[in-house]
């Protein structure tokens, strides 16, 4: 899936970092949510794992502010109910959940990635982009599991060869 394999350019990332830092400097330390989201989006599409982690942190803060807003106004604690009761734009919530799933997939934390994509699919069951990302996450999980099994198998094979070599040397 393209969103998992494409990277943002360094220039593009720098552009949004400058915008974010300018807003912090010029607005009492609080950039607007749209700027934070744009910067987080760039960070989650970076080649650097540290950038992806930073982007995920920003997205989680944005999502938490959505949840806190609804808890304060409705008192509800079910996440799906919280999102549907939220007064802000539904597209923002969808984007936060989607790119959190992307970020966690890029960090290879598939359990958390699946949690976010499932939350999005509860809100929008027909969202094809989310359905495709869910399939991609499952595929990535399977690939990583196969890599792990291959490494474990290779390790066992090497250990077996060393034991056989050791036994052969002892017999001499």
The CATH number of residue 59's host domain is 1.25.40.10
Q: Is the pLDDT of residue 55 over 80?
A: yes
Number of domains in the chain: 1
> For 9, how many CA atoms within 13 A lie in the half-sphere containing its CB?
3
| pLDDT tens-digit map of 8-36 | 999 999 999 999 999 999 988 889 999 99
Cα–Cα distance for residue pair 118/137, rounded to 1 Å: 11
Q: Domain range for residue 141?
A: 2-171
φ, ψ of residue 145 to 5 degrees: the values are -65, -40
What lies within 8 Å, CB to CB, of 3 at 6+ separation is 45, 102, 133
Angle at 2 between CA 149 and CA 137, to 5 degrees: 40
Spatial distance between the Cα atoms of 102 and 117, rounded to a whole number of angstroms: 9
Q: How confident is the model at residue 148 (pLDDT cuts 50, 70, 90)?
A: low
**Residue 47 DSSP label:** S
Q: For residue 111, is pLDDT > 80?
A: yes
């Amino acid at each position: 899936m393209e969103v998992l394999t494409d990277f943002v350019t360094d220039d593009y990332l720098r552009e949004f970092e400058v915008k974010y830092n300018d807003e912090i400097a010029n607005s009492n330390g609080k950039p607007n949510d749209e700027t934070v989201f744009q910067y987080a989006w760039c960070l989650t599409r970076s080649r650097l794992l540290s950038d992806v982690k930073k982007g995920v942190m920003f997205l989680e803060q944005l999502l938490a502010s959505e949840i806190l807003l609804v808890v304060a106004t409705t008192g509800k604690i079910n996440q799906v109910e919280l999102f549907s009761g939220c007064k802000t734009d539904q597209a923002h919530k969808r984007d936060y959940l989607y790119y959190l799933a992307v970020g966690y997939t890029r960090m290879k934390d598939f359990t958390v990635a699946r949690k976010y994509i499932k939350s999005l699919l509860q809100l929008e069951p027909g969202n094809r982009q989310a359905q495709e990302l869910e399939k991609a996450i499952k595929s990535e999980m399977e690939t990583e599991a196969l890599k792990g099994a291959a490494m474990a198998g290779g390790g066992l094979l090497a250990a077996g060869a060393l034991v056989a070599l050791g036994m052969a040397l002892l017999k001499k």
